[in-house]
């Protein structure tokens, strides 16, 4: 699980400019671990990418890195309020 967290943080922080303002929330449920990434509004477009390509790639990487039989990860990117 720690490897997946580090992967998510690495990808998000690669594209975000305000790295110190990023918040990560990991909530474990029955079969899913919900990951919420809260970003500064100015970083939203950079991390999501054109037509959501970076966000989709992040979700694909997380899915591919998750071992069989392990809980599934659901990554959500939100604007910090």
Residue 63, pLDDT > 80, answer: yes
**Average confidence (pLDDT) over 49-78:** 95
**Average confidence (pLDDT) over 50-54:** 96
HSE-CB of 13 using CA atoms within 13 angstroms: 12
Residue 1, pLDDT > 80, answer: no
Q: DSSP states of 27-68 as a string?
A: EE-SSEEEEEEEE-GGGHHHHH-GGGHHHHHHHHHHHHHSPT
**pLDDT for the residue 26:** 95
pLDDT for 8-49, tens place per residue? 999 999 999 999 999 999 999 999 999 999 999 999 999 999
Residue 81, pLDDT > 90, answer: no
């Amino acid at each position: 699980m720690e490897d997946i967290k580090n992967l998510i943080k690495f990808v998000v922080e690669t594209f975000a400019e305000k790295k110190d303002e990023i918040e990560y929330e990991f909530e474990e449920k029955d079969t899913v671990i919900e990951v919420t990434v809260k970003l500064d509004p100015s970083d939203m477009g950079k991390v999501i990418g054109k037509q959501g390509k970076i966000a989709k790639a992040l979700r694909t990487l997380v899915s591919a890195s998750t071992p069989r039989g392990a809980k599934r990860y659901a990554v959500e990117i939100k604007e910090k309020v």
